[in-house]
Amino acid sequence: MSERTQVAIIGAGPAGLLLGQLLHRHGIDAVILEARSREYVEARIRAGVLEQGTMEVLREAGVGERMDKEGLVHGGIYLCFDHTRHHIAMRELTDGRAVMIYGQTEVVKDLIVARLEEGLPLLFECQDVSVHGLNEDDPVVHYRYDGSERELRCDIVAGCDGFHGVCRPTIPEAELTVWSREYPYAWLGILADVAPSTDELIYAYSDRGFALHSMRSLTRSRLYVQVDPEDEIENWSDDRIWSELHQRLASDGWELNDGPVLEKGITPMRSFVAAPMRYRSLLLAGDAAHIVPPTGAKGLNLAVADVTVLADALVTRFTVGSDTGLEEYSDRCLTRVWRAQHFSWFMTTMLHLDRSDDDYGRQLQRSQLRYVTTSTAAARSLSENYVGLTLEQTARATVSR
């Protein structure tokens, strides 16, 4: 069976689904092909912090209603070290900008509902997806669906299929430059059925390793502890996890409430960039092109920023017939990507315990923590990165190069 569309979108994560939604609002046809089931995609617990710009894009895309009702707006974070908590007043430091606590699972559910309600094509459980015809400028995606072989002819392929997807490996190796860094630690994350013990997120540096107290709602907490990358979830009973969280998050005059653990898992930490983000008619977006360690809460937000730029470029292509936006796409995104790479590395190395590091390294970390919690200039720099640079700020940086 053969079909045709303007944009074939591979992957129904936040990048692919939002791109589909933005294109639809401009009358551009797309088909989204996803390898997993709808249930799996909707249940995959990942990010929880939306930047100011991400909230705005979701509202403009017509999928902000539930986020605005159920999301929690936070105007700051706490940094905790030496048993003392310090508040970073991000809203005051960034002219009123803030973040929204709203799970990636919820963003994905909202986007799926929006697409299916419009009767737009979104195919789950597609097998053996592969991209062909790029060198002939006649792109075609092959896949198997419901037991039959299919092909999707298109003008553009959007590779939104995450870090382990098939799109990036389709690009000839010689055409891509790759930068990456592995970290000597991982995160063990839990979702707990207990009200958060804090009004805003707590990032804690301790002699036992990093910990983070986040949340998903006023009744659900999301918490993380740093573990070794080789560690296995079987080694971590719920009691052991809570015991570490109590010790690492401890601060004078404050109590952590524990409760039933609903879900737990270990996530490795990696930084990765592949450039350029375009090869002929194939455009990469989100984790397919770059990943960051989660300490800066940037992964999902970068995916949203990429597809916002990509949607603009595709609208120009299909309405005006100009490829200028597509030609500039990679450079425009990478300016922002590298800022987020640096910020994520900065937050990660400031807050984690590298067991191969010496006491000199620990003193540097403490000095940096004291600096960002006592200097307004340093706190403002951290804040403007955390709440996210505006798309205009990124665009300006590109134009002035």
Per CB under 6 A, residues contacting ligand PHB are: 47-49, 201, 214, 222, 294-295, 297
Interacting residue with ligand FAD among 196, 299, 325, 388 (CB under 6 A)? 299
Query: Restricting to residues 24-43, which ones interact with ligand FAD according to CB under 6 A?
Result: 33-36, 41
Q: Is 10 in the site for ligand FAD (CB under 6 A)?
A: yes
Interacting residue with ligand FAD among 8, 11, 196, 278 (CB under 6 A)? 11
The answer to whether 188 and 227 have CB atoms below 8 angstroms apart is yes
Distance, in Å, from the CA atom of 153 to the CA atom of 145, rounded to the nearest integer, reads 15
- Smallest separation, CB 87 to ligand PHB (Å): 16
Stretch that binds ligand FAD, among 148-156, 162-170, 227-235, 323-331 (CB under 6 A): 162-170
The answer to whether 157 and 282 have CB atoms below 8 angstroms apart is yes
Q: Is 267 in the site for ligand FAD (CB under 6 A)?
A: yes
Q: Which two tokens stand for residue 277?
A: 């983000």
Pick 185 or 253: Cβ nearer ligand FAD: 185
In angstroms, how far is CA 179 from the centroid of its own chain? Answer: 18
* Binding residues with ligand FAD: total (CB under 6 A): 31
Pick 49 or 387: Cβ nearer ligand PHB: 49
Among the residues of 27-138, which ranges form H helices?
A: 38-43, 52-60, 65-70, 90-93, 104-117
- Smallest separation, CB 160 to ligand FAD (Å): 5
Q: Is 370 in the site for ligand FAD (CB under 6 A)?
A: no
The backbone region for 97, taken as left when phi is positive above 0, alpha when psi lies in -120 to 50, beta otherwise, is beta
Q: In what order do the strands lie in the sheet with 99-101?
A: 49-50, 99-101, 72-74
- Smallest separation, CB 99 to ligand FAD (Å): 11
Q: Which does 75 bind (CB under 5 to 8 A by kind): ligand FAD, ligand PHB, none?
A: none
Q: Is 165 in the site for ligand FAD (CB under 6 A)?
A: yes
- Would you give the DSSP letter of residue 356? T
Interacting residue with ligand FAD among 155, 161, 200, 384 (CB under 6 A)? 161
Interacting residue with ligand FAD among 94, 104, 335, 373 (CB under 6 A)? 104
Pick 150 or 270: Cβ nearer ligand PHB: 270
- Smallest separation, CB 346 to ligand FAD (Å): 15
Query: Restricting to residues 119-148, which ones interact with ligand FAD according to CB under 6 A?
Result: 126, 129
Interacting residue with ligand FAD among 53, 103, 209, 286 (CB under 6 A)? 286
Pick 16 or 388: Cβ nearer ligand FAD: 16
Q: Is 155 in the site for ligand FAD (CB under 6 A)?
A: no
Question: 10 Å Cβ neighbour count for 384?
Answer: 18
Question: 10 Å Cβ neighbour count for 121?
Answer: 16
Q: Which amino acid is at 54?
A: T
Query: What would the DSSP string read from start to end of 130-145?
Result: EEE-TTTT--EEEEEE
List C-alpha distances in Å: 27 to 20, 23, 120.
Answer: 10, 6, 12
Distance, in Å, from the CA atom of 106 to the CA atom of 157, rounded to the nearest integer, reads 26
Stretch that binds ligand FAD, among 70-78, 81-89, 157-165, 275-283 (CB under 6 A): 157-165
Catalytic residue list:
74, 203, 294, 298, 386
Distance, in Å, from the CA atom of 307 to the CA atom of 329, rounded to the nearest integer, reads 10
